[in-house]
Copies of this chain bind each other. A is one copy, B any other.
């Protein structure tokens, strides 16, 4: 139980900031946690459930004297929030963010960082399909990656201190170049989300298949897509608009690949399909071996399923 920051300001009180509050309290990592949310309803819930030590209705009060400020708002709002808090930041403070896109956040935030304040962009690869101030929990980050994309002029002691906080919350940290981060995440997260949203939308539109049938008979694959497609709409709108180039690049590759498989189905080329489906199995094995998912069949949702051998 070592206090790593005396005063942490959480700007935006959704799933990630809420989970940070729970995790920092569980580990005694922060002396005092302040919280700010734009919505009065969110602030009220945060107070009701005692999410932070103090909840503020203006940004200046929330960040005053903080030695760590966490920007946990949608990616598209980072720049304006940063511009508003800049005059109120303490000398020597560190600003970090938890946005799913890094280069555009850096472009929006970095110009507003005052002299003597450190900016260390970050992205926890953790979340659930739930959002809002009640969605957080202390163990969200356990065994998950938290990527840091420090700038060329980032001060190493500031980066290392943030790294200690993140590690103390249970996460594993790695450092990455911002545009490379955006490409990797477009593959592992952004495009999969867009595809899931699209598939659920197709089902929603299909007149010959009623909504009730789609819902009742969803267990055969579709329901996994609906979980992903239940994620926060504002967050995801901003992700796509702010990681446009990588998203369009990977989407192009995806469509190309899909057309190859579609043609194999049309032509009846079973060998090509079988070869393709065999190769993709190996990646799943790698993810389980790396401890990033459970090997229990069906994620353990099916009652009575035994762990795989």
Q: A261-B194, A299-B227 are in contact. Are A184 and B277 (CB under 8 A)?
A: no
- Which B residues are CB-close (under 8 A) to A222? 187-189, 192
CB interface residues, A 120-137, toward B, < 8 Å: 125-130, 134-135, 137
Asked whether A103 is an interface residue with its Cβ less than 8 Å from the other chain, the reply is: no
The CA-CA distance from A238 to B297 in the complex, in Å, is: 22
What is the size, in residues, of chain A's interface with B at 8 Å between Cβ atoms? 118
8 Å CB contacts to B: which residues of A20-52?
none
Chain B nearest CB, measured from A41 CB (Å): 15
**Is the beta-carbon distance between A221 and B193 smaller than 8 angstroms?**
yes
Residues of B within 8 A of A216 (CB): 145, 174, 290, 292
A309 at the B interface (CB under 8 A) = yes
Given the known inter-chain contacts A184-B214, A255-B258, please indicate yes or no for A197 contacting B276, CB distance below 8 A. yes
Give chain B residues whose Cβ lies under 8 Å from the Cβ of A226.
280, 283-284, 287, 293
Q: How many copies does the complex hold?
A: 2
Cα distance A290–B213 in the bound complex, in angstroms:
11
Contact A214 B199 (CB under 8 A): no
Contact with B along A240-258 (1 / 0, CB 8 A): 1100100110110111011
| Alpha-carbon distance A304/B273, docked complex (angstroms) | 39
| A contact patch SS | helix
Given A233-B274, A233-B278, A218–B293 Cβ distance below 8 Å? yes
Interface: A211 (CB within 8 A) = yes
Contact residue among B129, B188, B196 (Cβ-Cβ distance under 8 Å from A298): B129
CA distance A294 to B278 in the complex (A): 29
Q: Determine if B198 and A221 form an interchain contact, defined as CB atoms under 8 angstroms apart.
A: no
Most chain B CB inside 10 Å of its own CB: which residue of A130, A220, A253, A257: A220
Residues in B with CB closer than 8 Å to A238 are 270
The answer to whether B258 and A195 touch across the interface, beta carbons within 8 angstroms, is yes
A215:B185 contact, CB within 8 angstroms: no
- CB-CB under 8 A for A202 and B277, given A130-B308, A244-B266, A304-B142: no
Additional A-B contacts beyond A100-B220, A192-B222, A226-B280 (12; CB < 8 A): A125-B220, A139-B302, A142-B302, A183-B209, A188-B203, A188-B217, A191-B202, A206-B253, A211-B283, A229-B277, A294-B301, A299-B300
A-B contact pairs, 19 of them (CB 8 A): A76-B270, A140-B304, A145-B219, A174-B216, A180-B208, A183-B208, A187-B222, A188-B217, A188-B220, A195-B195, A202-B257, A215-B286, A215-B287, A218-B287, A218-B292, A227-B293, A231-B277, A244-B266, A244-B268
